Every structure is written in C-alpha cells, then in structure tokens.
A and B are shown apart, each in its own frame.
Chain A
Amino acid sequence: AQSVAQPEDQVNVAEGNPLTVKCTYSVSGNPYLFWYVQYPNRGLQFLLKYITGDNLVKGSYGFEAEFNKSQTSFHLKKPSALVSDSALYFCAVSSNDYKLSFGAGTTVTVRA
C-alpha cells in the first residue's frame, strides 16, 4: 500500500518570506512524487514531479521540491511567497502502477 502524509493542515506566511509545505510518503518500490495546487472550485494544477534524477526538482510559478529518500520526504518550497500563492496544496505518490495516492492537503495563506 502507498500513502502520503501532509502533517500541517494550514501554513501561514507573510508575503516575501519563504514558504515550505511538508510531505512524507510511504510506497513499495521507487516513488513517483507530485505536487499540485488547487484554487476554490477549480481542478488541480500540476506544479512539479519527481520521477528520477536530481533530488531538487524545479516546477511552475517558482516552486521547487527536494526528494529525500532517507527521510521519505518531498517538501515543497518557494523562496519568496506571494499573496497569489494562497491556495490548497496536495502532495501525491505513485509507484508506476496507474494509482495515485493523495495527502489530505495543506491550506496556504500568504498575508500581505
């Protein structure tokens, strides 16, 4: 079985400060890891993914994530948050078997 944990329901940061959204995973075999963002009543927007290669993955809108195999983590980061980054963020894991397991989501609020 595979699973994802997002330990923080909410993250609050000031605009211009660094943003980190945490994610840990459990999977048999090699993990395929994803981050998504969702705005109210909208579908998911893909931010970035880790399949193989460099542990630091760069994605859309200035986001990046670091794959840490020993800690089974894939935290999402942005060096300088914007008010427009306020949204719901999901981490997900797959083991290349068509099934994607999602975390419960983290609500990010960036205050001006």
Chain B
Amino acid sequence: DGGITQSPKYLFRKEGQNVTLSCEQNLNHDAMYWYRQDPGQGLRLIYYSQIVNDFQKGDIAEGYSVSREKKESFPLTVTSAQKNPTAFYLCASSPGPWPGEYFGPGTRLTVL
C-alpha cells in the first residue's frame, strides 16, 4: 500500500535539545510538506519541498530545519531555538503544486 509514514508517534524532549521527526512516502510524489497543528489554530506550514535537494520556508519556519536528500524522505528537525515546540506535527506529500490529499498520521512532540 502506498502512503506516508511518520515516526515516532509520540516524542518527548527536554528543553534545549534538538529532535528530528521522520517522514517517509512511497507514493513517488515530488512535493513534501511539514505542518504544525496547535489547538484552535488549524494547521500552519513550516517548510515545503518541491523537489529533491530543494526546500522553501513556510509561514512558521523559525526554529526548524529540514533536508531533502531523497525523494521519499523529508525529515524535520526541531531545534532548541524553537520557543514553543510542543505540538502535533503532520507531514504531507503531493504529485505537484496542488497540495492536499495525502497526510501522514502525525507525531506528537512534547517538551518536558
């Protein structure tokens, strides 16, 4: 079955530590995205990548970093510079510039 996997499902981090969230897709999609979800605010775009070795900042990129070395993988690093990292993080992919149909199951990050 084609789809998007995110790991881990739950992640706990101490303040001051960097942490990396995994996102893998086997849909052969060129574009991949990272969103952050907070209660009552919907989803906000962190970073997106249209193609391998290229990525752009979204609306709330500060304190985050990404890489896109392989088509199927788009890991997100939450750095210690992110002031309020506790949230639900969702990865998505699309075959072109019309994002929308394919989302992963999410990773819930909690900073202790």
A binding-site residues for B, Cβ under 8 Å: 4, 9, 32, 34, 36, 41-46, 49, 51, 90, 92, 94, 96-105
Contacts and interface: CB of A to CB of B under 8 A. Distances in A.
Contacts of B105: 42-43
B43 interface: yes
Contacts, number: 67
Interface of B: 6, 31, 33, 40-45, 48, 50, 56, 58, 88, 90, 92, 94, 97-106, 108
Contacts of A4: 42
A50 to B, nearest CB: 11
Given A90-B43, A104-B40, A99 B99 contact: yes
B10 to A, nearest CB: 9
Chain B contact residues: helix, strand, loop or mixed: strand
A78 B31 CA distance: 32
A90 B98 contact: no
28 contacts: A32-B98, A32-B100, A36-B103, A41-B108, A42-B106, A43-B90, A43-B104, A44-B43, A44-B92, A45-B103, A46-B103, A90-B42, A92-B100, A94-B99, A94-B100, A96-B98, A97-B97, A98-B48, A98-B56, A98-B97, A99-B45, A99-B99, A100-B100, A102-B42, A102-B43, A102-B44, A104-B41, A104-B42
